Structure 1
Amino acid sequence: MSHYIDGFVHAIPRDRLENYKRLVAKVAEIWKEHGALDYWECVGDDLHLAGTRSFIDLVDAKEDETILFGWVVFDSREERDLANAKVAADPRMEQLMAESNIEFDAQRMAYGGFQPFISSTNVNA
Structure 2
Amino acid sequence: MANYIDGFVLPVPKIYLDEYRQVAEKVAQIWKAYGAIAYFEYLGNDMVLEGTKSFMEVVAAKEDEEIVFGWVVFPSKAVRDLANSKVPLDPRMTDLVAPLVNPEKLIFDASRMVYGGFKPLVRSNG
TM-score, normalised on structure 1? 0.93
Contact 2:11/2:113 (<8 A) preserved: yes
Question: Equivalent residue of 2:60, what SS?
Answer: coil
Question: Equivalent residue of 1:121, what SS?
Answer: coil
Distance of 1:102 and 1:70 partners within structure 2: 19
Residue 88 of structure 1, CA deviation = 0.8
Contact 1:42/1:70 (<8 A) preserved: yes
Aligned residue pairs: how many?
122
- Matched with 2:114 is 110
Contact 2:20/2:107 (<8 A) preserved: no
State the superposition RMSD in angstroms.
1.3
Runs of 4+ displaced beyond 3 Å: 99-102
TM-score, normalised on structure 2? 0.92
What per-residue deviation string (whole Å, max 9, x for no partner) do you get for residues 55-99 of structure 1? 000000011111000000001111101011111110010101123
- Matched with 2:93 is 93
Identity of aligned residues (%): 53
- Within-5 A mapping of 1:1-125: 1-100=1-100, 103-121=107-125
Unmatched runs of 5 consecutive residues or more in structure 1: none
Contact 1:16/1:102 (<8 A) preserved: no
